[in-house]
Structures are given as structure tokens and as C-alpha cells.
Structure 1
Amino acid sequence: MNSPQDAVAWARRLRMRHLESFLVLIEAGTLTLAADRLHMTQSAVSHWLSEMEDLVGTRLVLRGKQVRLTPAGEAVRKLALRVLGEVSRTNDELASIERGEVSRLHIGSVTAGIAHLLPQAILAFQQVETNVAFQVSEGVFNTLLSRLEERDFDLIVGSIDARAYGPTLEHEVLFEDDIALVVGPAHPLADAAQIGWTDLYAYPWAMPPRDTLMRVRLENTLLERGGAGIVPVLETGSVMVLESVLHASNYIGVCSGAMARHLVDRDLVRRLPLTDVGSFGPVGVVWRRGGGDETLLKFIETLRREAKKMAPAAQA
């Protein structure tokens, strides 16, 4: 049986240029385009690819008009993304250290489910850990999760689903959220003390995108409440777009309960008095298994404390 050292001998022979060039080839799609981007001849690119396949010990791409990854090639592509992502992150950390910042956390944020939780946690954390810098990038959970696994992010905060239970991930649920229906302050229903579902169907709707869990759950609720035929005039995952549209129209908007409370507190929208809209699901934090350094774990503890402060409002 091969020793562990023998099993990864091929990886020790790989260089950064192999991984960088491999990703360029995949993105380019052809040896000709890859050669142009790498400032090499096509024969030199072909020779380099053969060299890399010899190092790995198996074919990585199927050559043709368009190169296609083999299963082994896909595995090496993921390796390249992870390694180069970690190198990029380390470079950012070194730059932070040079500026006098000891640490940096890069967070992927599913904003629709967290409202002020993440900003409040960052502010509370930096009051104690003054030498930690943050970078926050927003997106949908699926995209953020891929980037977490590729080491673009240190953690994800926001609405989570079953994919957070992956074997390479750790996660923690911070609170359960609900779905809210909201309107602008000048909407005819803005100050209604009591309304029914049929009161809503005469108005245009702004809904979350189709590929989101909130949209699926909303449509199930509408189906049960006689609103199955509603077609949204606007689909958006942007809170800013939603708030701006509601302010200037008579649209019915949809967002998470936490986000609705955040907007209502700032007098930007009104939440309609319906308690049976449905569950938005768990809001939590996800990070890589084995990737929790001291700074990250301290920040997760801060998230826990801030989520507990929100608990009374979340249950209201």
C-alpha cells in the first residue's frame, strides 16, 4: 500500500503556474484562446497540459474544438480554486497586517434574512476587537456556498437550508424567521388594522426571484389562499429596489420578517397585519469544517449574542 506521502507526491510537484494556467484553459475553452491569454504558442500550451497530466497521472481534459473536463479534471479544477482562493485570502491578510490590521474576515451575506443582525454584530465585535477588518459580499445562498467551499469567504450569514448540512461544513441556526407582506407608507392598505387575503389581489406584486426558497413558500401560501394566479410585475432580491418601488407605488412587497422590522423601524414601509404568510426558515451562520480560527469563532459568538437580543422582536 502506498504511504500517505506517496499518495500526494503528484501534488508536491504541481506549481502555482500549473493551477493558474489550468483555470485559464477551462475559462478559454480552447487551446488557441488559452495560448493567446497566456501569451504562449498553442504547441507550448499543449505541451504544458501534457506535462500537468503526467504529474497528476491521468487525463484532465478531452481535446477537441472545445476542451472538456474529465472527472479528474473537474477535481483538479476544484483544487485550483481552493488553493488559489486561499493564496488570495492570505495575500489580503498580509496587506492588512502591513496596514496594522491583524486580521480580516470575509463574509458572504444573504441579506434578505438578516436585516440589521450582521451590521450590529460587526459593530459590537469591532468595539472589542479593534484590529479586525471586515469585507461583506451579498448574494444568494447557493452562490455564496460555492464561494465558501472555494475559500473566497470565511463564513456565510443569512437564511440557510439543507445544503448547510454538507460533510465539509459547520453551521448554527441563530433564529427562525417568517415571511412578511409590506407596502409603502402611502399605500391604501398601509394603515389597515385588519385585512384579508382577497384584499391584496387587486394590487400588483413585487416578489422574490423564482429560484429562492422564500418565493416557493410564498407561492404555496398563495395557492392555499386563492391567489395562485398572481403573476408578479417585479421580481427582485434587492432590498433597496423593493423599498424604493414600494415608496413610489401601490405594490404589495414580500420580504423576511427581520427585514420588515428593520424597514418599519425606519418608517420606510408598513407591514400588513397578516399572521399566516408562512415561515421563512432558519437564519444562521455557515463555515468550513476545520476552518474556524480564533477570530472567526469569536465573531460567531458575537452573532449568537446579537441574535438573542433580536429574539423578543422575532417572536412578536
Structure 2
Amino acid sequence: MLAYPNLRHIRLFAFAVETGSLSKAAEAVRVSQPAASQAISRLEEHFGGHLFERRGSGVFLTERGKVVAVRASRIIELLRSANARLAKQSRIGRGLAQDLLETHATIAHLRALAGFARAGSFSAAARVLGQAEPSVQRAARELERIGGVPLFDGRQQSVRLTSAGQMIASSARLVLRELESALEEVRELDGSFDGRVVVGTLPLVRTSIIPEAVAHCSASRPGASIEILDGSYEALLHSLTIGDIDMLVGALRDDKSKRGITQEALFVDGLSIVARADHPLTKLEKVTYEDLAGYPWALPRRNTPTRAIFDAIAAEHGFEPQPGQGIVETGSLVALRGILVRSDRLTILSRHQIKYEEEAGLLSVLPIDLPDTERPIGIATRTGWKPTALQAEFIAALRAAAVA
């Protein structure tokens, strides 16, 4: 089980960084000087080395300490931000609730709430966390009492998070991820690149760009763990905002900068009409929109950008599926490829998505232009997110794969 440092020790450390004095930090968090020294020693043990150099009456950060200080500052910021939002709803008043999360929340509290949010119940969270269910429920309920705002609604088997509970759970996950990243970064200082990168992927980049980036990163950092997650854009975006994934790679959206998301375009990609290599339309030197009419289609699911583009073009040029002609809808590129190879169906895809099938002579791009179908493809991350060195190397590998 992954170990986390004491949150109060992190707070003490942050005050020591801010004031340059361990004694002043001890006063700020209301502990004795010996207790403060012991807390810092425990943090140094957790992070594998000295965080401070003690000179005269002050303390100065080591290189290891600088890494932890950045993450500690982010953790305090996350707790204060969550507390400010919680205080607006608190029964005990804004003044009293000003710093309750920062001063009273513990790792046990945060893990319990984050575990419930991920698993959907206290019993499932207990199994994930390797703890007894009463312990998990007690810790989560303690956090509810600390904030003075209901975090749960319902009874017994129908317990669910309130909107405040979802907000605190999201902050809890981000705090835990910052602590994990801090440990990964100090290990990187020691030359151990055995951390992890969690990447959410959308269909267009799964065929070649992601595999190329993984191969490159794994070759240079064989001890690294890379987790690739598939899913809908909405589900992956949610996972990104709460820290369950580090980055989302695929077609970018126009309206996400307002939701705490930063986007970086890697390249611009257009769409093509694709069929099996020996499809009747592949025999034509030039395919027209009229030629497409009458053929059956296998299409992306509704409410996806590619499907919206297809529907608009098909309606404008009159080659949409005809009455009585069934449509196959799927979000699985593997299934889609198999369907195309075994039938006369057509689809609309990026050429990147059929790279290997085209090279193998299984699928072909029809000779027809689809104007105004270009979309920016790139990386979405949380605004203000600081990648570890390993994560930064993976992003560099993505950039290289995009222009290869």
C-alpha cells in the first residue's frame, strides 16, 4: 500500500519554507520546537533525504526540499481553495470555517472520501483501500463534521456524495496525487525514473502516436509505468480534472479553457472516407458525393465531433444513409476496422487511425476531398499542473511522434 506523509507535517514544512525559520513555523502551527524538528525528520525520512540545511537561525531548502516545497505549496493551495468553497455552505459560518480543512483534515480523511468517490460505496472503498469498512466510513464522516457541510446524502445502500462532497473528493484526489508526484520527483533526483504516467486517449491517437510515444519513453526509462486509459471525452475529461489521469490526448475542444484545462495543439488533422481495399469505389479514379449515395455506413456514435461532421456533410451533399438502410454505430475502432474489411460499408475516419491497415492493404482512403474537416489534435492538462520529469519526457515524446 502506498504510504503518504502526515498532512500536518506538510503544513509545518510549508510554513518553514515561507518564513525561513522552523521555530516560527512551529509557532504558526502551534507545536513545540522538538515536535516540529521531529515532524521534519519524519518528512525527510519519507522523501529519502534532507529537505533543509540549517544555518544559523534559519533553514534553507536543499534541492530535494525545493521539489517537495513546490508540491507542498500546491497542496496548501488546494486545501484552502476547497475550504473557501466549503465555507460558503458551512453551518458554522465563514469565519470559523476559514482554515478547517487545512488544519484538521488528515490523509485518512482524504483517502476515505476519495475512495468512496471512486468506488461508489463504503464497502467497495474499504476493499480498494485495504481497510475495514467502519474505519473508512468513520474517517469520511469525520471530514463531514470538520467542514460542517453534508458531504453524503441517502441511507445505507443508497448513500451518495452531495455536490459539496464531490468537490471535496476531487480536491482530495488532487492532494493525494501531488504527494505521489512529490515522491516520484525526489526519486528522479536520485536517478530512479520508476514513477508513472497515466494518459487518457481518444480514438485518433491510439493507433500510432500513443504507441510511438510509449515505445520511446519506455526505451529511455525502462522502469517507468505507463497506464493508457480509453473512454469517452466527457469521462476522460472528468478523470483529468480530479487527477486520476495526468493528460488527455486527442481531438481538442474549443470551450474547455474556462474549466481549468490548458490545451496544446500538436498538429491539425482532417477526415477521410474509408473502405476496404477492394471496395467497388476504390476502382474509381475520383469519387464524387453522388458515388457515396446508396452505400451502407458504419459510423462513430452520435454526439461525437466526427459524427457531427459526417452528419453535416452528408446532409449538405445528399449521401446520408437512406430509409431502410441500417447504420452500424460503434465507438470501437477495432470493431469498425473488422466491419469495413468484411463488408461494403463506408466510414469517416482520420487516416492516422488506419495507418497499419492501409500499409497492410486491408483498408483504403477513397479519392474524395472532405473540406473543412480539419481539427486540432493535442494534449489537454490541468491548468497549473506541474509534471514530473518522467511525465515531461512523455509529453516530449508525444510532440516528437506527432511530427514524425
Q: Is the structural similarity TM-score above 0.5?
A: yes
Bigger shift: 6-15 or 104-113? Answer: 6-15
Counterpart residue number, 1:304: 399
Superposed, which structure 2 residues align to 1:75-90 within 5 Å? 75-83=167-175
**Other-structure match for 2:86:** none
Larger Rg: 2
For 2:393, the aligned partner's letter is K
Aligned-residue offset at 1:80:
3.6
Cα deviation, 1:219-270, whole Å, max 9, x if unaligned, reads: 0011111134546521112221111111111111221132244431232201
Q: Which residue of 1 aligns with 2:370?
A: 276
TM-score by length of 1: 0.78
Paired residue secondary structure (1:54): helix
CA offsets 1:256-293 (integer angstroms, 9 cap, x no match) = 13224443123220111111264151110122223222
User: For residue 314 of structure 1, what is the aligned residue in structure 2?
Assistant: none
**Cα deviation code 1:20-63 (max 9, x no counterpart):** 5446766898999999x96449xx96x77664332112233345
Counterpart CA distance in 2 for 1:19 and 1:146 is: 19
Q: Which amino acid aligns with 1:133?
A: S
What is the number of equivalent residue pairs in this alignment? 302
Structure with higher RCO (Cα < 8 A, 6+ apart): 1
Q: 2:389: which partner in 1? A: 294
1:60 aligns with 2:155: no
Evaluate the alpha carbon distance shift between residue 95 and residue 143 of structure 1 in structure 2; reply closer, same or farther with a 3 A threshold: farther
Q: Which residue of 2 aligns with 1:138?
A: 230
Distance across 2 between alignment mates of 1:151 and 1:50 = 23
Secondary structure in 2 matching 1:199: helix
CA-atom RMSD, angstroms?
3.8
Amino acid paired to 1:58: V
Q: Please give the TM-score of this superposition, normalised by the length of structure 2.
A: 0.63
Which is further off, 102-111 or 75-84?
75-84
Structure 1 residue aligned with 2:327: 233
Distance 2:245 2:401 in 1: 21
The change in CA–CA distance for 1:60 and 1:139 in structure 2 (over 3 A counts) is closer
Letter in 2 for 1:183: A
Q: More strand by proportion, 1 or 2? A: 1
- The AA in structure 2 aligned to 1:151 is G
Question: Once structures 1 and 2 are overlaid, which stretch shifts more, 167-176 or 219-228?
Answer: 167-176
Counterpart code for 1:291: K
Aligned amino acid, residue 59 of structure 1: P
Find the aligned partners of 1:109 and 1:147 in 2 and give their Cα distance: 12
Once residues 278 and 260 of structure 1 are traced to their aligned partners in structure 2, the CA distance between those partners, rounded to angstroms, is 20
Q: Which moved more, 1:237-246 or 1:296-305?
A: 296-305
Q: CA deviation at 1:303?
A: 2.1
- Which of 56-65 and 191-200 deviates more? 56-65
* Separation in structure 2 between the aligned mates of residue 109 and residue 31 of structure 1, nearest angstrom: 30
Moved more, 239-248 or 25-34: 25-34
CA distance in 2, matches of 1:228, 1:253: 12
- Asked if structure 2 preserves the Cα contact closer than 8 Å seen for 1:110 and 1:139, the reply is yes
Q: Compared with structure 1, are the counterparts of its residues 71 and 180 closer, same or farther at alpha carbon in structure 2 (3 Å cutoff)?
A: same
Q: 2:341 aligns with which of 243, 247, 253?
A: 247
Q: Structure 1 stretch 107-116 or stretch 10-19: which is displaced more?
A: 10-19
More deviation, 4-13/256-265: 4-13
Note closer, same or farther for the CA distance 1:292–1:91 as it changes in structure 2 (3 Å cut): closer
CA distance in 1: counterparts of 2:267 and 2:125, whole angstroms: 47
In structure 1, the partner of 2:194 is: 102
- The one-letter code matched in structure 2 to 1:209 is R
Structure 1 unaligned blocks of 5 or more: 310-316
